[in-house]
């Protein structure tokens, strides 16, 4: 079978978010894509440089989305999965518009296919619903003898957003107080990715679209234990940190009860635990670092960069 032409025209949804802004930057800097972004008419965010705006109504209706995505080779979703219906409509629109590759908003911190993740959070059940629809549509496209739809998909699962999680405290390393909360013995390895690595992975998937079609790919910047992260932080700060060990099962049970009681902030705590105890991608069949031509980053270097930037902000 002849190989398909390179992916050139890429449209991103969520270009101003934490992850989307970095993906947009990496797509533009790659220099081989014509990058556009869907921009809701009620958005007040400034558009990144080097992209073309495609205006759409806030409702993200199917017919309008289909028209907006017409002519695009690839669509990248990078906005929060708060309303699963929006993401499902976007998949349908990409299929209807003849888009060749769809990348759903899977990313971090857990594998949505994990039974544990699905059990604890609707977020991962919703992500699985989107991935399932991608699978269904790609199968329909493959079985269509007319070749009317070239639709394929790739999910990118990257573990915790490491630099963002370290800066924000979501990983339970407090840079101000130099205190760490360690789950269990702290010796469980977990894949994690810098935001830059997520953006790089999107670029590599689109550049290697034949090899990454209709599958999930697992990527990382490194796969450390919490104790290894702690040791790196102590080297970067030159100080001994205070630590508190927590039982992960008790933590999950407590936060699950908070969530059931309507406390939405418990979601981030549950994600923290699951992304720490159930995220070693090196054991996955879909571990794709070699396939994508990526190598691990240096943990100490990334930690030093985060600590240095934090000190600069704190002193300004």
Over residues 255-284, the pLDDT tens digits come to 999 999 999 999 999 999 999 999 999 999
Contact 190, 223 (CB under 8 A): yes
Chain mean position to CA 56: 24
- Return the SS3 of 278: coil
The answer to whether 163 touches 170, Cβ cutoff 8 Å, is no
Give φ, ψ of 56 to 5 degrees: -140, 160
Phi, psi of 263 (to 5 degrees): -90, 100
Return the domain boundaries, the chain. Answer: 9-158+194-218, 161-191+222-283+296-315
With cut-offs at 50, 70 and 90, classify the pLDDT of residue 293.
very high
Which tokens in the block code for residue 118?
A: 């699905």
Estimate to the nearest angstrom the gap between the alpha carbon of 120 and the chain centroid.
Answer: 19
* Confidence band of 213 (pLDDT split at 50, 70, 90): very high
9-158+194-218 placed in CATH 3.90.640.10? no
Four-way CATH pick for 161-191+222-283+296-315: 3.40.50.920, 3.30.1370.100, 3.90.25.10, 3.10.180.10: 3.90.25.10
What secondary structure letter does DSSP report for 48? P
d(CA 69, CA 37): 10
Contacts of 165 (CB under 8 A, 6+ apart): 109, 171, 192, 272
Query: Does the pLDDT of residue 90 top 90, yes or no?
Result: yes
What average pLDDT is seen over the chain?
95
Distance CA 23, CA 14 (A): 10
What residues contact 22, with CB distance under 8 A and at least 6 apart?
195, 196, 198, 199
Residue 242's DSSP bridge partners are 179
* pLDDT(1) > 50: no
């Amino acid at each position: 079978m002849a190989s398909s032409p390179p992916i050139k025209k890429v449209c991103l949804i969520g270009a101003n978010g934490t992850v989307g802004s970095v993906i947009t930057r990496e797509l533009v800097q790659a220099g081989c894509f014509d990058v556009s972004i869907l921009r809701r008419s009620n958005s007040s965010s400034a558009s990144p440089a080097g992209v073309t705006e495609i205006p759409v109504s806030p409702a993200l209706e199917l017919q309008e989305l289909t028209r907006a995505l017409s002519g695009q080779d690839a669509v990248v979703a990078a906005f929060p999965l708060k309303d699963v219906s929006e993401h499902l409509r976007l998949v349908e629109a990409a299929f209807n518009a003849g888009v060749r590759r769809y990348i759903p908003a899977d990313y971090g911190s857990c594998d949505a296919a994990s039974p544990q993740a699905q059990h604890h959070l609707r977020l991962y059940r919703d992500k699985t619903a989107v991935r399932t629809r991608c699978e269904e549509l790609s199968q329909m496209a493959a079985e269509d003898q007319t070749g009317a739809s070239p639709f394929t998909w790739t999910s990118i699962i990257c573990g915790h957003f490491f630099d963002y999680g370290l800066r924000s405290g979501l990983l339970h390393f407090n840079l101000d107080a130099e205190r760490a909360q360690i789950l269990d013995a702290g010796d469980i390895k977990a894949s994690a990715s810098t935001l830059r690595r997520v953006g790089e992975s999107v670029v590599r998937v689109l550049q290697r679209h034949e090899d990454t079609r209709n599958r999930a790919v697992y990527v990382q910047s490194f796969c450390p234990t919490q104790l290894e992260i702690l040791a790196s932080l102590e080297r970067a700060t030159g100080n001994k940190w205070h630590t508190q060990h927590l039982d992960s099962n008790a933590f999950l049970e407590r936060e699950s009860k908070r969530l059931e009681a309507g406390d939405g902030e418990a979601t981030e705590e549950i994600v923290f635990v699951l992304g720490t105890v159930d995220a070693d991608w090196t054991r996955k069949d879909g571990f794709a670092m070699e396939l994508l031509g990526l190598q691990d980053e240096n943990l100490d270097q990334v930690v030093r960069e985060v600590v240095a930037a934090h000190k600069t902000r704190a002193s300004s």
